[in-house]
Amino acid sequence: MNWGFAATAFGASAVEFVEAAVIVVAAAAMASWGPALWGSLAAAGVLAAVTAILGETLLHLVPLGLLRGIIGALLLLFGVKWLAKATYRIGIAYKPHHGLKEMGGAKVAFAAAFNGVLLEGAEVVFIILALGATGRALGSAIVGAAVALVLVATATGAARRLLNNVPEIALKYAVGIMLTSFGTLWLGEAVGVPWWGSDASVIWLALGNLVVSGAIALFLRRGQSVPSQSTATGVQA
Amino acid sequence: MNVLTKIGRYLWKFFVGDSFQFVALIVAFGIVALLAHPLGAWDGLVAFALVATIVSVDAWRMARPAPHT
């Protein structure tokens, strides 16, 4: 066992697993844990199959930048819809009658979890393969990444219980903010944005989205030009 | 052909839904891509501002009164 390589794989993989876990929790908040977990398992299955078939040649064959761009665009499309809708609903103090499922649906939750886990999982596979190839320490890298996976999965399981106590509209709002922030980060990276602090930029993006959408919700609430549900148009709320 | 059209419509509705957001995001990230070289890391701020604007306009569109009211 090469402990240096194991620790490097652990640190790098833990960051990717945390990002994947945030997307999976957000996807679970859209509908339920079922489609979010199935989406995660499907992505893990695809990655396992592709890795088993291609092995180290995966490093040269899969364009990670393109994959990041496609998945970022999809998450951004879901995220913008969710954030705008949640902002509008907070703005008019709307109370949902049919629970969480009315806004998202199992298919969107499955797709969001699948995309998030596929991209982050691919990055973990790349980290393991790169460490394995350069340092001839594939086993140590796998052990480091596996420990990170177990720790992050355990923490996510604990977060699952906490989420049951969060109000529905706040959960939807948080989902919109996280999907929009990750989507902006990944699509931005794909079109050439050199983000400050790399992936850590997702933190200021999320805070920025929170501030701007909060201001819009406040504007809608104070404006009093907001119609009742029966007179709101255009886009179905 | 009919089946392909149906699949296409389903995928469009599932992933895109509202064409306003789709077109706005394409324009926004086109601008971001063009500005990536001259602005460097500041381009991230442009990306954030454009996305936040799209979200704000979209929330406002939902809240505006119906034309017939």
Q: Write the ipTM.
A: 0.84
Of residues A191, A220, A225, nearest to B32 (C-beta): A191
Cross-chain residue pair B41–A196, CB shorter than 8 Å: yes
Alpha-carbon distance values, B5 to A35, B12, B14 (Å): 27, 10, 14
| Residue B42 C-alpha, separation from nearest chain A C-alpha, in angstroms | 8
Domain of residue B47 covers 18-63
B46: in domain? yes
Given CB atoms, is B51 within the 8 Å cutoff of chain A?
yes
A123-to-A9, A38, A80, A136 alpha-carbon distances in Å: 11, 20, 25, 19
Grade residue B68 by pLDDT with cuts at 50, 70 and 90.
Answer: low
As a whole number, mean pLDDT of residues B8-36 equals: 83
Provide, as residue numbers in chain A, all residues whose Cβ is less than 8 Å from the Cβ of B43: 188, 192-194
Question: Inter-chain contact B51–A111, Cβ cutoff 8 Å?
Answer: no
Token pair 């394995």 in the structure block, residue: A132
- Cross-chain Cβ contact B59/A213 below 8 Å: yes
Which among A68-82, A124-138, B3-17 has the top mean pLDDT?
A68-82
Q: Where are the domains of chain A?
A: 3-231
Residue B37 placed within a domain? yes
Asked if B61 and A235 come within 8 Å (Cβ–Cβ), the reply is yes
Residue located via tokens 């079922």 = A34
Say what percent of chain A tops pLDDT 70.
87
Q: If you average pLDDT over every residue of chain A, what do you get?
A: 81
User: What span, in angstroms and rounded, lies between the C-alpha atoms of A125 and A120?
Assistant: 9
Per-residue pLDDT reduced to its tens digit, A154-199: 988 887 777 777 777 887 888 889 889 989 998 999 999 999 888 8
In a domain, B39, yes or no: yes
Structural domain contains residue B68? no
pLDDT tens sequence across A125-139: 888 887 776 666 778
Instruction: Kindly state whether residue B47 falls inside one of the protein's structural domains.
Output: yes
Residue B31 domain flag: yes
Nearest to A81 among B17, B37, B41 (CB): B17
- B1 in a domain, yes or no? no
